[in-house]
């Protein structure tokens, strides 16, 4: 016959403490997982929506160059090409940030230089800014008036 040994109270307490600890850990990991899962779903929609952002940013540099060229060439055909390209990008969610003559807004604009002109108003836009859906893809680079005539 083997004599049954009962665990001491101390041992039971220890075991309970361990069990509690494990439960806490389990809950924590589960919570992390659920949060991760929620965020994963969010980012998934974001990724689909903004998948083009990197490419669009690169194409915008080319659009800038075309617009600079047009400034000098003033060619009717090129004008159409630029318009066409912009219309295409528009269908992908791109939108122009209106900046000329507006009050300077650091959320959508980046002030490069302060020049004579109406105070805190955009005097001219150096490179156009764009929204991609509701997000600023690229702020407009602008010159802002100092208030001096």
15 belongs to the binding site for another protein (CB under 8 A): no
Q: Which helix (H) or strand (E) holds 72?
A: helix 53-73
Q: Which position among 18, 28, 41, 83 is part of the footprint of another protein (CB under 8 A)? A: 28
- CA-CA distance, 74 to 103, in Å (whole number)? 29
- For residue 111, state whether it binds another protein (rule: CB under 8 A): yes
Query: Among residues 35 and 44, whose Cβ is nearest to another protein?
Result: 35
The whole-angstrom separation of Cα 141 and Cα 147 is 19
Helix count and strand count (H, E) for the chain? 3, 6
- Give the HSE-up count for residue 50: Cα atoms under 13 Å, Cβ half-sphere: 15
Is 130 an interacting residue with respect to another protein (CB under 8 A)? no
For another protein, give the closer residue by CB, 128 or 143: 143
Binding site for another protein (CB under 8 A): 21, 24-25, 28-29, 32-33, 35-36, 38-39, 65, 68-69, 71-72, 104, 106-107, 109-114, 120, 126, 135, 139, 141, 143-144
């Amino acid at each position: 016959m083997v004599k049954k040994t009962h665990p001491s109270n101390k041992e039971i307490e220890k075991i309970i403490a361990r069990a509690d600890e494990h439960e806490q850990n389990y809950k924590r990991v589960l919570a992390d997982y659920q949060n991760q899962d929620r965020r994963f779903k969010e980012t998934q929609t974001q990724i689909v929506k903004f998948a083009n952002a990197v490419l669009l940013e690169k194409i915008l540099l080319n659009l800038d160059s075309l617009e600079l060229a047009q400034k000098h060439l003033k060619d009717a055909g090129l004008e159409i090409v630029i318009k066409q390209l912009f219309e295409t990008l528009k269908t992908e969610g791109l939108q122009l940030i209106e900046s000329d003559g507006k009050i300077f807004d650091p959320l959508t604009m980046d002030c490069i230089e302060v020049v004579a002109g109406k105070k805190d108003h955009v005097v001219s836009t150096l490179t156009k800014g764009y929204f991609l859906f509701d997000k600023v893809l690229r702020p407009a680079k602008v010159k802002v008036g100092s208030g001096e005539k």
